[in-house]
Structure 1
Amino acid sequence: MKQNPSIYLSKSDHEALSLLLRAIKHPQGTALKLKEEISRAIVLGDSQVPTDSVGLNSSVHLEDLDLNEVETYELTMPSRANPDFNRVSILAPLGVALLGVRAGEDFMWRTPGGLRRLRVVSVTRESKSSKVHGPYSLTQ
């Protein structure tokens, strides 16, 4: 497993996440980790981001490398997060861990039960044409 591989963010995702972090007066925990992640990201035009790179509103198929189970999640802004629909907030530990990871890459995620080793099997990014609300907002 690579430690801190380069991550790619679209300009619109970078702007939305920067806005979210500016709204948090004193970032701690996962908000601080998110700030670190976006500071090291390579920011590209929306159409230049690799299609297999996890961004906001991406659907991600993850394989647990120890349990051989595959789960699917959608990475969302906090207000859209919903565990019943496998929507993970960008401010959740898993959300921060997923940001910018590409299909085929492995990463580790610390849970209360211990460290999980995960692999991104595939990523489906939201297409520009499917956005109904325009740019991201804190309430999206």
Structure 2
Amino acid sequence: MSSKPTITVSAVDMDRIEALIEKMSRMTPELETLESELDRATIVEPANMPADVVSMNSTVRFKFSGDSKVFEKTLVYPQDATSEHQISIFAPVGSALLGLSVGQSLEWPMPNGQSRTVEILEVVYQPERAGEYQR
């Protein structure tokens, strides 16, 4: 993979994601990749989260490099992924979105054994930006 952009994760999101990973019965390669990303994240208090960063429960517009189709999804915890407009943090694309800011891109492994580069176009809604720090 190419050099990775810096990522920022709130302390609340980090605690909740790590707790979910610990409860998993086995570690999949996808979860191991997510853990590696979390290990390199800059952790901030929710009130200090930059407004253009994808955090949990953020609605984000993104696309894959080389593709013109734009997606708009809300990044959620696995138990909250109940509609096609939501994407779980444990889905490969969901893991790639967390912590990126507008304008950043990240190459990420996909289930088919290939990788794709996700580009962040806009953070439409971010709980921290809206003053919602405990979700």
* TM-score greater than 0.5 by the shorter chain: yes
Give 1:98's aligned amino acid.
L
Taking a change above 3 Å as real, the CA distance of residues 117 and 21 of structure 1, as seen in their structure-2 partners, is: closer
> Contact conserved, 1:2 with 1:106, CA < 8 A, in 2?
no
CA distance in 2, matches of 1:26, 1:115: 23
CA distance in 2, matches of 1:9, 1:23: 20
Unaligned ranges ≥5, structure 2: none
> Contact conserved, 2:97 with 2:118, CA < 8 A, in 1?
no
Give the superposition deviation at 1:116.
Answer: 3.2
Give the TM-score normalised by the residue count of structure 1: 0.81
* 1:77 pairs with 2:101: no
For residue 126 of structure 2, what is the aligned residue in structure 1?
Answer: 125
Give the superposition deviation at 1:129.
Answer: 4.7
**For each residue in 1:23-59, what CA deviation from the matched residue of structure 2 results, as whole angstroms up to 9, or x when unmatched?**
1243222111111111111110101111111111011
* 1:105 pairs with 2:109: no
For residue 27 of structure 1, what is the aligned residue in structure 2?
Answer: 27
**For each residue in 1:80-136, what CA deviation from the matched residue of structure 2 results, as whole angstroms up to 9, or x when unmatched?**
113x432111111111111111101122344439543332111121246557xx54x
Give the superposition deviation at 1:21.
Answer: 1.3
Give 2:106's aligned amino acid.
F
CA distance in 2, matches of 1:116, 1:34: 15
For residue 92 of structure 1, what is the aligned residue in structure 2?
Answer: 91
CA distance in 1, matches of 2:58, 2:71: 14
Q: Percent identity?
A: 26
Give 1:96's aligned amino acid.
S
How many aligned residue pairs are there?
A: 132
For residue 138 of structure 1, what is the aligned residue in structure 2?
Answer: none
Structure 1 segment 25-64 matched on structure 2, within 5 A: 25-64=25-64
Give the superposition deviation at 1:15.
Answer: 0.8
CA distance in 2, matches of 1:116, 1:75: 18
Give the superposition deviation at 1:64.
Answer: 3.1
